[in-house]
Amino acid sequence: MTMEELKGKTALVTGGNSGIGYAAAKELKAQGAEVMITGRRKEAVDKAAAELGVAGFLADQGQVSAIEALASQVREKYGKLDILFINAGIVELGTIENATEKSFDNVMDINFKGAYFTLSKFIPLLNDGASVVFLSSNTASLLSTPPAKPR
């Protein structure tokens, strides 16, 4: 890609305040896109947005009402999107036998329900030919029970 290949394109990266989301936002910006990032922690979003030179929005992807509010804000300020990078996710380390319902619900609310409803609420904002990227992780394997030790 050339440095300006995404010039004139608008991108939203959920969970863009750290990790892979931050790196994706940085690359999209470098390619010329107008970029927005989201996150749950105001300080982290503000810091990342300032470092990247992008717009930052506070949004908890585990809450459908927050996703709806985000879609409304993006529609009002930017109209349509060309790139939707659904990246927000968490992992709460532990083993299945020690898992709690609260921990399970928290992970599922953000990683599954959040991704599903982010796509659902943003479909009306996608330009024809827009790209949607879902990022997932293999860290879920950390929640499995370790193999039994031989006796």
Q: What is the DSSP letter of 149?
A: P
* pLDDT per residue as tens digits for the range 44-66: 999 999 999 999 999 999 999 99
Residues 6+ apart with CB under 8 A from 56: 16, 17, 36, 37, 38, 39, 45, 46, 48, 49, 50
Domain residue spans of the chain: 10-139
Please list the alpha-helical segments (H only) found in the chain.
19-30, 42-52, 64-78, 101-108, 115-122
Weakest mean pLDDT among 75-84, 97-106, 114-123: 97-106
pLDDT greater than 60 at residue 148: no
pLDDT band with cut points at 50, 70 and 90 for residue 85:
very high
In the CATH hierarchy, which fold is given to the domain comprising 10-139?
Rossmann fold (3.40.50)
Rounded CA-CA distance 14/50 in Å is 16
Radius of gyration of the chain (CA): 17
